């Protein structure tokens, strides 16, 4: 089961089942995730920087690809409402954590 850890200190890592939506996994563990579209893939505010485990997340879907291009996101910045966990540990960060 992949472990989600945080690049900055102060938050406890947690385990989440492969296939779980990344944004939902964070919210389920009381980690705030910015959003104004509530996971509909419109706002791109839920972007998360992935510093470890990026390869386990798979390719961006069409919605995420569109947002990544529109907002000029780096490859390791993922739209968390569009991402499902793979089977490897992740280390994540945002500007507001």
| Binding footprint of ligand FES on the chain (CB under 6 A) | 35, 37, 39, 41-46, 79, 81
Name the minimum Å distance from CB 47 to ligand FES: 8
Task: Indicate the residue whose CB is closest to ligand FES.
Answer: 81
For residue 2, the 8-state DSSP code is P
Q: Give the per-residue SS3 of 38-56.
A: CCCCCCCCCEEEEEECHHH
């Amino acid at each position: 089961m992949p472990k989600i850890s945080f690049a900055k200190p102060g938050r406890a890592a947690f385990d989440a089942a492969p296939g779980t939506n990344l944004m939902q996994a964070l919210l389920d563990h009381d980690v705030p995730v910015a959003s104004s579209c509530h996971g509909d893939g419109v706002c791109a505010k839920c972007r998360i920087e992935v510093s470890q485990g990026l390869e386990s997340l798979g390719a961006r879907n069409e919605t995420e690809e569109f947002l990544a291009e529109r907002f000029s996101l780096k490859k390791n910045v993922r739209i968390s409402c569009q991402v499902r966990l793979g089977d490897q540990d992740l280390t994540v960060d945002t500007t507001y954590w």
